[in-house]
Chains A and B, each alone.
Chain A
Amino acid sequence: MSNFTIRKRTADTVDVLELVGELDAHTASHLEDSLKSLIELERYNIVVNCTELAYISSAGLGVFMAYIEDVRSLQGDIKLTNMSPKVYNVFDLLGFPTLYDIVDTEEEAIVMFTS
């Protein structure tokens, strides 16, 4: 049984992925499939809302590591929002906050894409 799901929404030119549950080596392929399908559809402005992301391991971080440069080279980005302190801490341990846009709210991330 999977303890991870993704809800997808489109807000104008931005696609929002809401991660729900636990993202680890077992569930990371689900996120990878979602990012790949957005890239195939030429949707490169991606917001990942982590409000309901209870847990992330390096396998989950690895999916962002694998795709963020591809998306950036196509003039898009993957921006992460609404992280709990525990989830943020994992990104922080690896120094990701200086490499990725991690912001408090989805609205802020959308404004960064549209302004």
Chain B
Amino acid sequence: MPSPKQHTIIVCASTERISDVREFVAKHATNFGFSDEDVHDIRLAVDEAYTNVVKHAYHYDNSKKVEVTVKTFRNEFLVSISDEGTAFDFASYKEPNIEERIMLRKRGGVGVYLIRKLMDRVEYRTSGRQNEILMSKKR
């Protein structure tokens, strides 16, 4: 039985590090054999999830750390992003009405929607102080 391969990067919670996080995940997704389109989808989903941690879990406090781990197992590519900030309350999440948000001049609020469109599986977990979003895509 093959064992999972795992790679981790730990970065400070700052939008300055978004491109590093994107490139880290994209490199491993490419090595795993995904098409350019799939690599782009994974890159965007990870960007959205990391940005949400910076904004909503840590409120732009760049002294905090975010851990991004990539695991591959058989034909599945998993990305875990974990933090110890404010947990995302998925139970009260509602799919956004984009047209209404535009009319109300409200920006954003579409990251979670995109992540769910781009990845095959998305889970939110909280254990003690640690929150984790686990996303996966099959090759």
Residues of chain A whose beta carbon lies under 8 Å from any beta carbon of chain B: 3, 22, 24-26, 55, 57-59, 61-63, 65-70, 86, 89-90, 93-96, 99
Contacts and interface: CB of A to CB of B under 8 A. Distances in A.
B40 A59 contact: no
Contacts of B117: 93
B110 to A, nearest CB: 5
A95 B101 CA distance: 12
Contacts of B113: 94
Interface stretch (B4-12, B15-23, B78-86, B122-130): B15-23
Interface of B: 15-16, 18-19, 22, 37, 40, 43-44, 47-48, 51, 54-55, 98-99, 101-103, 105-108, 110-111, 113-114, 117-118
B103 to A, nearest CB: 6
A3 to B, nearest CB: 6
Contacts, number: 74
Contacts of B105: 65-67, 69-70
B98 A95 contact: yes
Contacts of B22: 24
Given A24-B51, A58-B110, A99 B18 contact: no
Contacts of A26: 15-16, 18-19
29 contacts: A24-B15, A24-B47, A25-B15, A25-B51, A25-B54, A26-B16, A26-B19, A55-B44, A57-B18, A57-B47, A57-B48, A57-B51, A57-B111, A59-B108, A62-B110, A63-B107, A65-B101, A66-B105, A66-B106, A68-B102, A86-B37, A89-B37, A90-B114, A93-B117, A94-B98, A94-B114, A95-B99, A96-B98, A99-B99
Nearest to A68: B102
